[in-house]
Structure 1
Amino acid sequence: MWGKKITLFLIAYVLFGGNSFGQKYIKPIDKKYIHSRYIDETGEELLRVIVPGNPPPSGFKARKAVAVSSSAVIINDVPALSWCFGCTPTTGAMLAGFYDRQGYVNMYAGPTSNGVFPINNSVWGNAYINGETRALCPLSATRNGLDGRTSRGHVDDYWIKYLNANPDPYITNGWAQHAYEDCTADFMKTSQSAYGNQDGWTIFNYYPSGSKYYGTDDEDGPYGLQLFFESRGYTLGERYSQTIVGYNGNANGFSFSNYVAEIDAGRPVMLHVEGHTMLGVGYDFDTQTVYLHDTWDYDLHSMIWGGIYDDMQHLAVSVFAIGTEGFVDENLYITNTTFSSPDECLDAMQHIYVASDGNSVNIENGASVDIIAGQSIQFMPGFHAQNGSTLSARITQSQEFCVPQGYSSSSEKMSSENTRQITGEDELQFASDTHLVKVYPNPNNGLFTVTFDNFDNETKVFVYNTFGQKVYQASTWEKFTVVELQHVRRGIYFVKAVNNQQHYEQKIIVQ
C-alpha cells in the first residue's frame, strides 16, 4: 500500500480450565484436552492442546444478551457468527470478517453483500448433514453450492459429523481434496483426519511456563490462521501463543492490561475457554469484564477476565500482528511524488486526487503506475507523465484493488472498457486486451503450458506462491512455454507474464 506503514496487532486469546482470574492461581488445563506434550528445541515443555470446538449444546437456549455498562469500551462493527463447523474457525472468520469491513477487502472475496462480509451469517442459512443442523459461513468453512462455489470445499472433503474420528470423505471416496483457499478452517486444519483431528477439533500449542510460542508447527491452529491471512495478501509482523498471568501460578504471561490495550487500539481479541473459542470485543476496566461473541448466537455476552464462561476457564493467548500492506484507504491524495519504477499501484475505496496546484506528480520514462478507485479519479494541474511511461486509471466495480506485495491477484487483466486514457501533453501507453495469455491445464499437477497471443519480443514468465515467494522464472521469444514446477506443495500459485511493460496474472491450482 502506498504512503502508509502501520502495523496492526490482532490478539487471539486461548482460555482453558480453572476458576479464578488475573494474578490468582489458575489450575492447569484438564488432561483430557492435552493431545501431547514434549520438550522442544528450546528446552521448554510444550503442550499441544485440543480445542474440540463445542457447538451449541443439545437443547441450547441462547443466553440473554448482556447489558453494557456505561463505562464499557466496545469495538463496533464486529461480525457475530453462529457456530460453523468448529468454534475456532468460526472465531477466525469473525476476525477476518471484521477486518474485511474495515478495508482489508481481500479477507472475504465472495458475492454476498457486494463483496463486503456481513454482520452475521444468517444470510447463508443452515444445512442438514448426517442428522445434524449446521449453520453455514463460507469464510469459516467452504462447501459446494455455498456462496456461488461450484466445487467441493471444506465441508465436502473433511466433515462427517461432530467429533467423528473416521477418515475424511475425500479419503474414503478416493477423490483429490480441494486446495486450501477461502476459509479459515482449511488453514487451521480443523476437522482434518490427516492431522489427527476429529470433526470440529483444532489444535493449539503453548508453553505452560508463560513463554511466548512462535513455532510453525503445521498442526497449530494459530499458525494456520497466520497462513490464511497471508494467503489473502496481508503480511504478519508477529504471531505467538502465550498463557495468561496466573496459569499454574505463573507471574509470567498475558494480562488483563494487555487485553485492555488491544481493545483500546480497536483490535478484537480471539477468546478460547476450555474446549471452546470466542471473540472478545470490549471490556469494563472497573469490573474486569470482557465483552464477547460466543459463536452460539448473534448477541453480545460477557465474562470476567481470567474467569469462567459456561463452566469453561480462561488460560492463554495467541497474538497476530497484521501489517497494512493491502489495506485500502477510504480516500487518497497523491502529491509531491515522482514514480520511477515499474509495478506501482495506488488505490482507495472512494476517491483519488492526483496532484494539485503547486504539488506535482510525475511519472518518469520506464515507470508504470496503476490507479484504482471505487468512485472517482481526478487528475489536477501539476500531473505529468513522460513519454515511455505507462499509466492505467480505472474505477473498480468488483472491489478488486491493488495486489499487496507478496500477493498476486486471482483476477484476469483489467478490461479496457473500464480503463480511462489520460490525454494531455504526454503520450501514455496502456495495457491492451489484444495481449492475451492462456494457462492450461488448470488445475494441474505442476506441469502446464503458457501461451501468448500478439506478444512481441521477449516474454518473461514468473510463478509465485501465496506468500509472494518466486518458485519459477523463465524467458522465451516463442509464442508458448512449458512450465514444470518441481518439489512444490499442492495449493494456489500465480503465473505472471511480462512483455513490453504489459503484465498479465493468472491464478492456478497445483493438485
Structure 2
Amino acid sequence: MIIKCIHHKILIFTLLLPILLNGQQSKCFETRPEGVPSGIKNKKSGFIITDVPSYLWHRGCGPTALGMIIGYYDLNGFNDLFSENTINQTNSINMSIASDEHYNNYSIPLDYYPNLLSDNSENGLGHQNNSIADFMKTSMSVYNNYWGWSWSSDIGNAFEEYINYINPNYITNTEYTFFSNNSWEKFKNEINNNRPVIILVDSDGDNSTDHFVVGFGYDNINQEFACYDTWDNNIHWYSWQEMQNGVNWGVFGFNSFNIENTSTSVTDEAYIDKKMFVIDILGKKTNQTYNKPLIYFYDNQQYLKQIIIR
C-alpha cells in the first residue's frame, strides 16, 4: 500500500512538472501579439519612478527587462554597469543585454515552440558569459529555452552574476514574490523605495505565463501597475490581478532587486569627470580635493557624498 501511494505521488508529480515549469517561463513575443490589449497608456494619475529607462525588445523580453533595471541603477549611483549613458538604447546597450556572441551561439538556429533545436549550449562550444542574456540562459536549448525564452527562476541569478561580472565590489540581493493577498502591498513597497521590479505576466489570458515587463509605478485607487512592456516606449497601466483563464495581463509574480556599494572611496576617474560641481560639507563650492568628505553633483542629476582617497 505504501509503495502504491509513492507511485501515485511520483506519477502526479511527473504529470504536473511541465505545468509548474511552464508557469515560470516567458515566450518569444518580439512585438505585441494580435489581440493582446495595450492597457491604459501614459495616464497622469498614480505614482511612478521617473528615471527608469525604456528599452525595446532585444533578443528576449527577460534580458531586455533586466537591462532596464540595470540601466536604472547605472543612472543612480552605479554608473559602471553599462559602458554608455543608459537613458538611450544604443547598440552598446543592446550588446550588454544580449551580445552577438550570445545570439550566434545560443539563438541560432532560431527555434519556435514546440520544435526545440540544439544550439552550442549543449556541446560546450559557447563563449564566456559577457551579456545579461548569457547569465539568464536565454534561448539556450540545454535549459529548454526556445529563441528569446527565459525562466523567471534565472532572473535573480542573472542580476547578481552580471553585476558581479562588471564590479565585484557591489553587493546584490534579489527576492521573488508570487501573486498573493499581500503581493500588492509588497509591490508598492518596492516602488515606494525606488526599486523597480520585473513582473512575469500572462498577457493573452490563456493561463500560461508569456512575458516579462518592468513594473515601476502604481495607482492605489484603481489597483493598477505601471510598466514598460518592451514593445514600445509608452507607460502602460494594467490591473493588478492574478493570472487565470480569460484575464489579460494576469500576474504570476515579480522579481525585486537591491544593490549596494561596499567601497567607501571612489577612484574611478571616468566617473569623477562627469561631475558638474563640488561642495564641501558646509555647502561652499570647492575644487576636488582628496581625503576629505565632499558632495559631488553629476550631470545625470545625481549627487553623492564621497571621500576620494589618495
TM-score, with structure 2 as normaliser: 0.70
Question: Counterpart in 2 of 1:187?
Answer: 135
| Mapping of residues 54-69 of structure 1, within 5 Å | 54-57=29-32, 63=38, 66-69=41-44
Give SS of 2:161's match: helix
**Pairwise CA distance, 1:298:** 0.8
Q: In the alignment, which of 155, 160, 168 is matched to residue 119 of structure 2?
A: 168
Question: Counterpart in 2 of 1:221?
Answer: 155
| Alignment RMSD | 3.7
Equivalent AA in structure 1 for residue 252 of structure 2: L
Report if the CA contact (8 A) 1:74-1:283 is conserved.
Answer: yes
**Pairwise CA distance, 1:53:** 4.3
**Pairwise CA distance, 1:34:** 3.0
Question: Counterpart in 2 of 1:261?
Answer: 189
Equivalent AA in structure 1 for residue 145 of structure 2: N
Question: Counterpart in 1 of 2:210?
Answer: 275
| Mapping of residues 373-412 of structure 1, within 5 Å | 377-379=287-289
| Mapping of residues 67-466 of structure 1, within 5 Å | 67-70=42-45, 72-109=46-83, 115-119=84-88, 121=89, 123-124=90-91, 137-143=94-100, 153-160=101-108, 161-163=110-112, 165-168=116-119, 176-181=125-130, 183-205=131-153, 220-233=154-167, 235-246=170-181, 255-273=183-201, 274-307=209-242, 311-325=248-262, 348=272, 349-350=274-275, 351=277, 377-379=287-289
Question: Counterpart in 2 of 1:372?
Answer: none
Question: Counterpart in 1 of 2:8?
Answer: none
Equivalent AA in structure 1 for residue 200 of structure 2: H
Q: 1:85 to 1:61 in 2, by over 3 A?
A: same
Give SS of 1:68's match: coil
Partner Cα distance (2:70, 2:263) in 1: 14
Report if the CA contact (8 A) 1:55-1:296 is conserved.
Answer: yes
**Pairwise CA distance, 1:221:** 3.1
Partner Cα distance (2:262, 2:103) in 1: 31
Partner Cα distance (1:157, 1:327) in 2: 39
Report if the CA contact (8 A) 2:61-2:212 is conserved.
Answer: yes
Give SS of 1:166's match: coil
Is residue 34 of structure 1 aligned with residue 3 of structure 2?
A: no
**Pairwise CA distance, 1:155:** 1.0
Equivalent AA in structure 2 for residue 315 of structure 1: F
TM-score, with structure 1 as normaliser: 0.44
Residue correspondences, number: 259
Equivalent AA in structure 1 for residue 159 of structure 2: L
Q: Percent identity?
A: 23
Partner Cα distance (2:136, 2:19) in 1: 18
Question: Counterpart in 1 of 2:295?
Answer: none
Q: 1:355 to 1:276 in 2, by over 3 A?
A: closer
Q: 1:237 to 1:54 in 2, by over 3 A?
A: same
**Pairwise CA distance, 1:282:** 0.7
Partner Cα distance (2:263, 2:229) in 1: 29
Equivalent AA in structure 1 for residue 171 of structure 2: L
Report if the CA contact (8 A) 2:66-2:155 is conserved.
Answer: no
Equivalent AA in structure 2 for residue 88 of structure 1: G
Structure showing greater Rg: 1
User: Which runs of 5 or more residues in structure 1 are unaligned?
Assistant: 1-29, 37-47, 110-114, 126-135, 144-152, 206-219, 247-253, 330-343, 357-375, 384-429, 431-511
Give SS of 1:378's match: coil
Partner Cα distance (2:94, 2:37) in 1: 19
Partner Cα distance (2:61, 2:253) in 1: 16
Q: 1:118 to 1:65 in 2, by over 3 A?
A: farther
Q: Higher RCO, 1 or 2 (CA under 8 Å, sep at least 6)?
A: 2
Give SS of 1:50's match: coil
Give SS of 1:314's match: strand
**Pairwise CA distance, 1:200:** 1.6
Task: Report Cα offsets for 1:161-193 as digits up to 9, x if no partner.
Answer: 253621215768x9x422112x21110111112
Question: Counterpart in 2 of 1:421?
Answer: none
Give SS of 1:186's match: helix
**Pairwise CA distance, 1:354:** 8.1
Partner Cα distance (2:27, 2:19) in 1: 8
Structure with greater proportional helix content: 2
User: Which runs of 5 or more residues in structure 2 are unaligned?
Assistant: 1-15, 202-208, 293-309
Q: 1:327 to 1:55 in 2, by over 3 A?
A: farther
Partner Cα distance (2:21, 2:33) in 1: 25
Moved more, 236-245 or 270-279: 236-245
Equivalent AA in structure 1 for residue 152 of structure 2: F
